[in-house]
């Protein structure tokens, strides 16, 4: 059975500006896209600047930028296991079945921030790893990294 690979970008692309399954199909076929508008370019520049400033505010972080996808997946898993407090540009994936179709769901969180011991379980309310995505409002909340 073939496995479908889904990313957060696929979901974003499907919804913008209106839901469109064909857009996802064309993206996976690497069809040429229209150039980003001036407004989209501005949003990208502002988002990149904000992300860089936030990264600088965190102090020491494991930066996985520039690694291959497989290396980023491995390094992210190892960093989580090692208790690294902040991981920048990590990679995560999971297998799932959606509508009887086997899928690999892949994500590239901007930030993974450990709270407490990083284990989310009963009796350990402060333990978790928080995924700070590009569009998350929690992304700017400094108190999220303490603990």
Q: Where exactly are the structural domains of the chain? A: 4-145
Q: Residue 121 has which token pair?
A: 């379980």
The closest of 48, 13, 56, 49 to 34, measured between CA atoms, is 13
What is the value of pTM for the model shown?
0.66
Considering only residues 37 and 132, tell me which one the structure prediction assigns the higher pLDDT: 37
The predicted structure's pLDDT at residue 134: 38
The predicted structure's pLDDT at residue 136: 33
Is the pLDDT reported for residue 126 higher than 60? no
Report, as an integer, the average pLDDT of 47-68: 91
Other CB atoms within a 10 A radius of the CB of residue 7 amount to 16
Quickly list DSSP for the chain. ---EEEEHHHHHHHHSSS--HHHHHHHHTT---PPPPHHHHHHHHHHHHHHHHHHHHT-S-EE-TT--HHHHHHHHHHHHHHT-SEEES--EEEEEEETTEEEEEEE--SEEEEETTS--BTTBTT-EEEEE-TT-GGGG-GGGG--
Other CB atoms within a 10 A radius of the CB of residue 92 amount to 17
The predicted structure's pLDDT at residue 78: 93
Considering only residues 132 and 31, tell me which one the structure prediction assigns the higher pLDDT: 31
Report, as an integer, the average pLDDT of 93-103: 83
Report, as an integer, the average pLDDT of 111-135: 58
Is the pLDDT reported for residue 142 higher than 50? no
Lowest-confidence range among 68-72, 74-78, 83-87, 129-133? 129-133
Express each pLDDT in 12-54 by its tens digit. Answer: 666 666 667 777 778 778 888 778 889 989 988 998 899 899 9
């Amino acid at each position: 059975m073939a496995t479908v690979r889904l990313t957060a970008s696929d979901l974003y692309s499907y919804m913008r500006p209106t839901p469109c399954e064909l857009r996802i199909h064309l993206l996976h076929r690497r069809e040429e896209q229209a150039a980003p508008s001036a407004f989209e370019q501005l949003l990208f520049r502002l988002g990149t600047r904000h992300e860089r400033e936030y990264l600088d505010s965190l102090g020491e972080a494991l930066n996985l930028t520039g690694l291959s996808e497989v290396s980023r997946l491995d390094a992210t898993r190892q960093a989580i296991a090692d208790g690294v407090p902040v991981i920048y540009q990590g990679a995560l994936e999971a297998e799932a079945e959606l509508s009887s179709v086997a899928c690999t769901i892949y994500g590239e969180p901007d930030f993974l921030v450990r709270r407490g011991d990083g284990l989310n379980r009963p009796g350990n309310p402060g333990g978790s790893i928080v995924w700070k995505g590009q569009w998350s409002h929690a992304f700017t909340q400094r108190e999220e990294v303490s603990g």
